[in-house]
Chains A and B, each alone.
Chain A
Amino acid sequence: MIPAWPWLSLLIGFPVAGGLVLLALGSRAPSFARSFALVTSIVAFALSVIVWIGFRDGTASMQFVERIGWIPLLHANYHLGIDGISLPFLVLTTFSTVLVVLAGWRVIEYKQAAYFAAFLLMEGFMNGVFAALDGLLFYFFWEAMLIPMFLIIGVWGGPRRIYASFKFFLYTFLGSVLMLVALIYLGVRTGSYDLLAFQRAPLGLGTQIWLFIAFLLAFAVKVPMWPVHTWLPDAHVEAPTGGSVILAAIMLKMGAYGFLRLSLPIAPDASRYFSGLMVALSLVAIVYIGFVALVQTDMKKLIAYSSIVHMGFVTLGFFALFFMAGASAIEAARMGIQGGIFQMISHGLVAAALFLCVGVLYDRLHSRDIATYGGVARSMPVFGALFVFFAMANVGLPGTSGFVGEFQVILATWVANPWWSLLAALNLVIGAGFTLWLIKRVVFGPIVNEPVAKLPDVTVRERLFLFLLVIPVLLFGLWPAPILDVMRASVAHLVHQALMSKIP
C-alpha cells in the first residue's frame, strides 16, 4: 500500500510548478533549464507510476479521491479522482512528456526554457483534465491547456505556424464554449458541478439531445471526427515535433475521453438517439480519410490523417454498443469500449513514435516531403529498422499494441452489424497501403538525393526515446492484460450507465 498523499494534486501541481520555475528562469541558464525540465518530467512520470501501483483493480468506484471546497457560492469543488478509464491516460501523459523533453533537447534553440515550461504546464493541465470530477474544474483544465499549445505551435512551429495556431485555437475554443454552456446548464439544474451527480441526474430526451450536441461539438473537434478534422493536419504539420507528439498522443484522446466521461453517462438516451450518426461519421473517417492519407506527400500530414483514421476506430467502438443484440450483447459492448480505449493508448504510443521518427529525419534535412527521402535504410540502418517497426504497429500487426484495440473493435462491431465490421476491416488494407507505401518511399529503395547518403544514424539520445517507445508497443501487444485489467470494472460500469435510460 502506498501512503495516502494527495497524489493527483501532486501530478497536477508538480509539473505546473516546474513550468513556472522555468518561466521565471527565462534564458538565464539554458543547460540547467533542460536538465531541470527532464528531472521534473521524470519525477512526474514516477508519480503516475506510483498511482498505478496503488490503484486497485476490480472496482468501478473513484480512487485517490480529493475533495475540498473551491467556489462555495456555486457549489463547485476541487474534486479529483480516477477510475480505470482515466488511469492509463495519466500515465501516458507523463510518459509522453518525458519523450518530448528528450526530443527537444538539442533541437530547440529559440527560448528553450520557455519551450519546456510550456510542455510542463500543459502536462499539469492535461493531468487535471483526466483527474477532474467536477464539471467546472474539468472545463478549467480543458481550456487552460489551449494556451500553451497555441504558443508552442505559434512560436516554435513551421512556416505556416500562425495560420495553424489560430485555426487550432479558434476551432477548439468554439467547440469548448458550447460545452461550457451545457455544463453551466447542468450546474444550474442539479445545484452542483459534480460530474458524478450529473451522471445520476434524470433528464428528459429533449434536454439530453441539446446537451449531447453541445458536448459533441467540443469532443468531435478535439478527437477529431470527420468533418471537423481540418485543423489537425495543419496543426500537426506546423507544430514542432514535441507539439505533434503531445497533440497526437494526448490531446486527441481528450475528445474521446470526454465521450466516455460526459456524453455517454450524462446523456445515454441522446447517445442512443445519435448513435447511428456517430457510427456513420466514424466509418467515414475510417474509409474516406484512409484514402485521403494515401495521397499525401508530406510525412507529417500522412501521419495526421492516419491519426484521424485510428480515432475513427475509437468512436466506432464507443457508439456501436447501442446496436448490439443477442446473447453476447453486453459482452460485445464492453469489448467495443475496451477496444476503443486500448486503441487510444496504443495510438498514443505509435503516433508519438512516428512523429518522433519524422522529427529525426526533419532535424537532419529540414524537409518533411516524402520525395526528398528514399533509401534512408542504407545510411541509417538502425533508424530504418525502428521506423519500420513503428509502421508495422501503425498497421496493426499482431504482436504490436496496434493489433489488440483494432481487433477488439472489429470483433465487437461484428455483433452490431457485420457490414460495418467489414467496412472497418477495410482499413486493414488501406492502412497497410498508406503506411507501407510511406515506408517503401522513405526507408527503402535506391538513394535518389545526394544528402540522404551522408545522413548520420540515430544518436544515443534519439535511440533512447525511440527504444523507450518500442518497449510498451511490444509489451502491450504481446501482453495487453495490465491495461485491460485496470479498466475492466470501470468499462462494465460505463456500459451499464450507457444502456440505462435516464428519462424520468
Chain B
Amino acid sequence: MMSMTAIAPEAWIAGGALFVVLLEALRPFVKDRVLAWAIPASTLVALGLAAMTASFWRGSSQGVFFDGTLVVDPLSRLLVVAVSVVALLVVIYSVGDLERHDLGHGEYYALLLTATLGILAIVTGADVLVLFLGIELLSLSLYAMVSIDRERAIAAEAAMKYFFLGAIASGILLYGLSLLYGLSGTLSLVTLPRMILGLGGGDHLLFFFATTFVIVALAFKFGAAPFHMWVPDVYEGSPTPITLLVATIPELGAIALFVRLLVVGLHPLMSQWAPLVLGVAILSLLIGNLAALAQSNFKRLLAYSAIAHVGFILLGIATGTIEGEIAAIYYTVIYVSMTLLAFGLLLALRARGRDVESLDDLAGLSQVHPWWSLLMLFAMFSLAGVPPFIGFWAKLAILRALLGNGEAWVAVLAVVMAVVGAFYYLRVVKIMYFDRIANEKSVPAPWGVPEIVLSVNGCALFVLGLMPDALWQLCAWAVHH
C-alpha cells in the first residue's frame, strides 16, 4: 500500500493520458464542442492532482520502492511538483492557440501527459533502466509533438532531425549504461557508487568510456554544445505551443538526470566527469551566446539563449559540490519560469493578431500592447540576469558555487559571457520600446484565465527577485536530505 501512494502522481498522469485517449476515441459520437472542453479539462485535472499529491508529501514515506526502482525523496517530490505545475501552465497558455489552429485534439494532450510521465520517471527513477525508459518515453512523445502540425514542412524537417539525432543519442546512452552495468554488475543508482568504489574507484579505462558516453547523451538531451544542433531547428520549426513545451518541461528532466546519474550515481568518478561537464558548459556558454547575437528569428534567438543558459546550469553541476548542485537546480527552476513567460507572451500576442516570427515583428510593441511588452521586458532583463529580477539570483547562485570552489576564472568567463548575452536581450527590448511604428490595429481579445496567469507569472519574476530566499531554501532542502 505504501508503494502505491509513492507513485500516486505518476498514476494520476498515466490515468489522465489513458482517459484523454479514450475521450478522443469518442469523437465520432460526441459533439466537438464538448470534447474541446472536456479534453483540456481532464488533462488539467490530472496534472493538478499529481502536483497536489506530491506537494502534500511530508517525508513520511521517504525511501526506495518497487525493488529499488523508484525513489521518493525531497528532490523527487520538489521536481514532481515543479514538472506538474509547469505542464499545467503550458496547457493553460497553449489551449486557446491550439484551438484556433485546429491542433487541439486529444493527441496533443495525450502526448503531453506521456511526456510528463516520462519526466516523472526520470525524476523518481532509482534505477538506470527506469531512467532510460523515462528518457525514451519523453523523447518519443516530443518527436511526435514537434510534427503534430502535418501541413508544416519546416516542422517535419525539425522532427526528422530531432528524431535521428535523438535516436543516436539514445543509442550512445544505452551503450554507456551497458558498459557501466558490465563493469559494476548493478543497475541500481543506490548501489552503483559502492560497487565502483569496490572496484578501486574507477581507474579502469572502460569507466572513462562509460562516463564519456553518458555525458555525450545527456548533453544531447539537455541541448548543450557541441550536441546542440537540433535545438534551434526544433524551436523554430515547431508550432509555438510545442516550442513552449519543448523549451520548459524537458529541462527539469535533464537537470534531474544530471543530478541522479552523474552527481549521485557516478559520484566516485567525479574526477572523470567534472572536467568533461565543465568543457561542455563553457562551450555552451560560448556557442550559445555568440550565435544568439546573429539571430533574426525570435524563436531561434531563444533557442541559442537556452543553450547558453544550459551552459550556466552545467557550470553548477561541474563543481561537484552540494552548493553547485543546489545552484543548478535553482537556476533550472528559475530559467523554466522565465522561458514559460517568454513563450506564453508569444502565444498571447498571437491571439491579438501579432504573429511573432522574426525579431522585427516585435517592433513598436510597447505602443500597441504596453502591458505585454512590459512583461516581455521583465522576461528579457530577467534572462539577462539584471536585478531586481529573479534571473539575477540564479546567476548569483552559480557564481557563488564557482567561487566557493575556487574557480574564479570560470566565474569571470561566465560573467563576461553574461554581458555578451545581455546584448541580444537588450536588442529585443530595443525593438519593442525604441523602434516606433505608425498606428497599428490590434485584434481585440478578451482577458481570460491565461492572461491572468501570464501576468502573475511575469510579476512573480519581479517579486521573487526581491525575495529570492524561499525558493532557494526549498532547493537546498531538496538536495540536503
Report A's interface with B, CB cutoff 8 A.
23, 26, 70-74, 136, 139-141, 143-144, 146-147, 150-151, 154-155, 161-162, 165-166, 169-170, 173-174, 177-178, 180-181, 184-185, 187-188, 210
In Å, the complex CA distance between A141 and B386 comes to 10
Q: Is the CB of A73 within 8 A of B434?
A: no
9 CB contacts below 8 A, A to B, read A26-B370, A73-B472, A147-B381, A150-B429, A154-B429, A154-B434, A155-B433, A180-B399, A188-B403
A184 touches B434 (CB 8 A): no
User: B387 at interface (Cβ–Cβ under 8 A)?
Assistant: yes
Say whether A166 contacts B416, CB under 8 Å: no
Which of B58-66, B243-251, B263-271, B407-415 sits within the interface?
Answer: B407-415
CB-defined contacts of A141 to chain B, threshold 8 Å: 387
Q: Find B416's partner among A26, A136, A154, A174 (CB 8 Å cutoff).
A: A174
B403, A184: Cβ atoms under 8 Å? yes
* B102 within 8 A of partner (CB): no
Using a CB-CB cutoff of 8 Å, which residues 395-424 of chain B contact chain A?
396, 399-400, 403-404, 408, 411-412, 415-416, 418-419, 422-423
Residue among B399, B418, B429, B472 making CB contact with A184, cutoff 8 Å:
B399
Residue among B381, B387, B472 making CB contact with A139, cutoff 8 Å: B387
B3 close to chain A: CB less than 8 A? no
B354-392: which residues lie under 8 A (CB-CB) from chain A? Answer: 370, 374, 381, 386-388, 392
Contact A162 B430 (CB under 8 A): yes
Contact B476 A73 (CB under 8 A): yes
A73 to B397, CA, bound (A): 11
A71 in contact with B400 (CB, 8 Å)? no
Q: Are B396 and A184 in contact (CB under 8 A)?
A: yes
Cβ–Cβ contact B416 & A177, under 8 A: yes
Q: Please name the residue on chain A nearest to B405 by beta carbon.
A: A188
Q: Given A173-B422, A177-B418, A181-B415, is A71 in contact with B387 using a C-beta cutoff of 8 Å?
A: no
CA distance A74 to B467 in the complex (A): 13
One of B374, B418, B426 near A150 (C-beta < 8 A): B426
A184 pairs with B468, CB closer than 8 A:
no
Contact of B386 among A143, A162, A174 (CB under 8 A): A143
How many angstroms between the C-alpha atoms of A174 and B400 in the bound complex?
Answer: 18
CB–CB B387/A181 < 8 A: no
**Distance of A184 Cα from B374 Cα, bound (Å):** 30
* A-B CB contacts (within 8 Å), total count: 84
Nearest neighbor of B415 in chain A, beta-carbon distance: A177
| Smallest CB gap from A139: residue in B | B387
Known pairs A170-B423, A184-B411, A188-B400 / 6 extra A-B pairs, C-beta < 8 Å: A72-B473, A154-B430, A170-B419, A173-B422, A184-B396, A185-B408
Expressed in whole angstroms, the Cα–Cα distance for A173 and B370 within the complex equals: 26
Q: Which residues from chain B contact A150 at a C-beta distance below 8 Å?
A: 426, 429
Q: Closest residue of chain B to A69, judged by CB?
A: B469
A169 and B426 form a contact (CB under 8 A): yes
Which A residues are in CB contact (< 8 Å) with B411?
181, 184
- Are B412 and A162 touching (Cβ within 8 A)? no
Whole-angstrom distance between the Cβ of A52 and the nearest chain B Cβ: 27
Given the known interface contacts A70-B469, A188-B403, the answer about A177 and B419 at a Cβ–Cβ threshold of 8 Å is yes
Partner of A71, one of B408, B415, B468: B468
Task: List residues of chain A with CB within 8 A of the CB of B387.
Answer: 139-141, 143-144
Of B387, B392, B404, most buried by chain A (CB within 10 Å of CB) is: B387
Report the minimal beta-carbon distance from A267 to chain B, rounded to whole angstroms: 16
Please name all residues of chain A whose beta carbon is closer than 8 Å to the beta carbon of B388 when the two chains form the complex: 140, 144
Minimum C-beta distance from B314 to chain A (A): 19
A181–B416 Cα distance when bound, in Å, is 11
A484 to B360, CA, bound (A): 54
Nearest B residue to A175, CB-CB: B419
B442 to chain A, nearest CB (A): 15
Using CB atoms, name the residue of chain A closest to B400: A184
Tell whether A71 pairs with B469 under 8 Å between CB atoms, given A144-B386, A155-B433, A181-B408. yes
In the bound assembly, the distance between CA atoms of A136 and B395 in angstroms comes to: 13
A162 to chain B: which residues have CB within 8 Å?
Answer: 430, 434
Beta-carbon contact of B434 and A155 below 8 Å: yes
- Docked pose: A161 CA to B430 CA in angstroms: 10
- Closest-by-CB residue of A relative to B419 is A174
Given A73-B472, A143-B386, A181–B422 Cβ distance below 8 Å?
no
Which listed residue (B386, B400, B418, B423) contacts A146, Cβ 8 A? B386
A181 touches B399 (CB 8 A): yes
Give B440-481 interface residues, CB cut-off 8 Å to A. 468-469, 472-473, 476
Closest chain-A Cβ to B476's Cβ sits at a distance in Å of 6
List A contacts of B430 (CB < 8 A). 154, 162, 165-166
Shortest distance between the CB of A179 and any CB in chain B (Å)? 10
Taking the nearest CB of chain A, how far is it from the CB of B380, in angstroms?
Answer: 10
A188 to B321, CA, bound (A): 14
Q: Provide the residues of chain B in CB contact with A143, threshold 8 Å.
A: 386-387, 392
Given A143-B386, A181-B412, are A72 and B392 also a contact pair (CB < 8 Å)? Answer: no
- Residues of chain A contacted by B392 (CB below 8 angstroms): 140, 143
Closest A-chain residue to B367, C-beta based? Answer: A111
**Which residues on B sit within 8 Å (CB–CB) of A166?**
423, 426, 430
Chain B residue at minimal CB-CB distance from A161: B434
Closest A residue to B417 by beta carbon equals A177
**Bound state CA distance, A180 and B403, in angstroms?**
11
In contact, A154 and B433 (Cβ under 8 angstroms):
yes
Closest residue of A by beta carbon distance from B399? A184
B479 to chain A, nearest CB (A): 12
A180 touches B400 (CB 8 A): no
Complex CA distance for A217 and B411, rounded to whole angstroms:
16
* Interchain CB contact under 8 A, A178 and B403: no
Complex contacts, B381 vs chain A, CB 8 Å? 147
Residues of A within 8 A of B416 (CB): 174, 177
